[in-house]
Amino acid sequence: MIALLVALAGGLGAAVRFHTDAVIARVNPLPMSIGTLAINTVGSLMLGLFSGWVTFHSGAEEWVSIAGTGFCGGFTTFSTASVEGWRLLRAGRPTAAALHAGGGLLAGVSAAFLGLWLMAR
């Protein structure tokens, strides 16, 4: 039953990512895509919150699988971030590509730690 719920949560996360990215793309005034960066950062924060809840507040471990692996796994996307970085490189924008990759990594790890820290309080 848990596997089915993880799969359903993953599908829901992917649908939410698709719509969220579309909204961000419509309002983004910047010359580079920030939707994936924002989505991956929010997803990392959520994963930190879910993991912290289970770790520090005796939450049910199956919910971290459903919400973390399922929803957050479907919501976030490493492959799209990689493609966006590659497109920046191909467009002759190596600094933007490096900022995109490094900023995404830093933002995601920081957001996950923030989520854990918030739940540890």
pLDDT (tens place) for every residue of the chain, 121 residues total: 999 999 999 999 999 999 999 999 999 998 778 999 999 999 999 999 999 999 998 878 888 899 999 999 999 999 999 999 999 999 999 999 999 999 999 999 999 999 999 999 8
Q: With CA atoms as reference, report the closest residue to 115 among 75, 77, 72.
A: 72
49-103-6 Cα angle (round to 5): 35
SS3 of 121, please? coil
Q: How many CB atoms lie within 10 A of CB 47?
A: 24
- Amino acid letter at 33? S
Predicted TM-score (pTM) above 0.75: yes
Its domain, for residue 107, covers 2-120
The count of structural domains within the chain is 1
Give the C-alpha separation, 113 to 23, whole Å. Answer: 27
- Amino acid letter at 97? A
